[in-house]
């Protein structure tokens, strides 16, 4: 079996398959440390993903896994961190999150000065640790990662092929409905901030502050159909300014890095099985937008189920 794509969706899917007894190879164009997933701020929350009902099911299953992984944060990169989801209230989450999310309550004015906010304790994933950990967990289960460029899914010489190519599916499938939404981040020294915050202003501009070990990740942007991977200095200044309005101590923090990633957005996640012209099975698992980390384990388990029993490939 071959999983095409080495981001968080591809690696997580490969891990689930390998631990169910499948012989798995992952084909990835880039090392896992240079995939789009490596750029993610990686707070668990169903963000910009359709369809909502399935996404929430995948997200809650993934939450189960992340809560277990958070028991070993230094190894897995997963921590449970408190913070405020701005412009969100309990009524918006009661239908799917109430009673499941730890510490869920309205934020106080001291915690968040915006119109309304939701205080929660959520998984925050350090992708610089988590992606290599996934690769090591895959290796422990007998799987391998191979760096190679794929120009057509039919190149994969296996009875079952799993397409986790994200934005690459636009050309490989081909699927013109997959499009990039560009996100730019600024990484700064952490002046002592321990909680995260996500906020949206009246114009719809989003700002977020994510405390990771040894650094703060500041964001962010959502630029539709923008392919450039070059950081924009003016955008970076705007990001720091918006985040400093939320946490004033950020204003003087030293900038460590600038990052850009292209979220693979689709009108709805494609998670289904089809047959290639030669009769082999092709399972699609792509189009997760900015919520790949949030739904990774739920989608991986569903994709693994679509691959059939171990004896078939």
Q: Is 86 annotated in some ligand binding site?
A: no
Q: Is 291 annotated in some ligand binding site?
A: yes
Q: Is 112 annotated in some ligand binding site?
A: no
What distance lies between CA 198 and its chain's CA centroid?
16
Q: Is 37 annotated in some ligand binding site?
A: yes
Q: Is 286 annotated in some ligand binding site?
A: no
Q: Is 199 annotated in some ligand binding site?
A: no
Burial of 297 (C-beta count, 10 Å sphere; 0-12/13-18/19+): buried
Concatenate the DSSP letters of all residues of 225-281 into one string: T----S--HHHHHHHHHHHHHHSGGGGGPPEEEEEEEEEEEEEEEEEEEEE-TTS-E
Q: Is 263 annotated in some ligand binding site?
A: yes
> Distance (Å, rounded) from C-alpha 253 to C-alpha 38?
23
Please check whether residue 282 is in contact with residue 161, taking contact to mean a CB–CB distance below 8 angstroms: yes
Q: Is 292 annotated in some ligand binding site?
A: yes
Q: Is 137 annotated in some ligand binding site?
A: no
Q: Is 219 annotated in some ligand binding site?
A: no
CA angle 37-7-265, nearest 5°?
65
Residue set of the binding site: 36-37, 165, 208, 263, 289-294
Residue set of the binding site for D-dopa: 208, 263, 290
Residue set of the binding site for FAD: 36-37, 165, 289-294
């Amino acid at each position: 079996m071959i999983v095409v794509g080495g981001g968080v969706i591809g690696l997580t899917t490969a891990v689930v398959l390998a631990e169910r007894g499948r012989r798995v190879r992952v084909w990835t164009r880039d090392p896992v440390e240079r995939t789009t997933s490596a750029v993610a701020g990686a707070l668990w929350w169903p963000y910009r993903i359709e369809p909502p009902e399935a996404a929430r099911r995948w997200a809650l299953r993934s939450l189960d896994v992340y809560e277990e992984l958070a028991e070993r944060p230094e190894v897995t990169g997963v921590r449970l961190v408190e913070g405020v989801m701005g412009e969100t209230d309990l009524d918006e989450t009661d239908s799917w999150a109430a009673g499941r999310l730890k510490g869920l309550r309205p934020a106080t004015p001291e915690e968040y000065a915006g119109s309304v906010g939701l205080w929660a304790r959520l998984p925050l994933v350090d992708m610089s640790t988590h992606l290599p950990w996934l690769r090591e967990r895959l290796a422990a289960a007998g799987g391998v990662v191979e760096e190679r460029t794929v120009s057509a899914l039919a190149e994969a010489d296996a009875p079952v092929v799993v397409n986790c190519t994200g934005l690459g599916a636009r050309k490989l499938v081909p699927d013109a409905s997959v499009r990039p939404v560009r996100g730019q981040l600024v990484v700064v020294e952490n002046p002592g901030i321990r909680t995260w915050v996500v906020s949206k202003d009246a114009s719809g501009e989003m700002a977020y502050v994510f405390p990771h070990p040894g650094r703060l990740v500041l964001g962010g942007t959502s630029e539709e159909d923008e392919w450039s991977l070059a950081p924009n200095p003016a955008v970076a200044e705007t990001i720091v300014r918006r985040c400093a309005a939320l946490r004033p101590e950020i204003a003087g923090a030293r900038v460590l890095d600038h990052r850009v990633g292209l979220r693979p957005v689709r009108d709805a996640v494609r998670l289904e099985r089809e047959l290639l012209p030669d009769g082999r099975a092709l399972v699609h698992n792509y189009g997760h937008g900015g919520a790949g980390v949030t739904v990774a384990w739920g989608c991986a388990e569903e994709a693994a189920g679509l691959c059939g029993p171990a004896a078939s490939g």
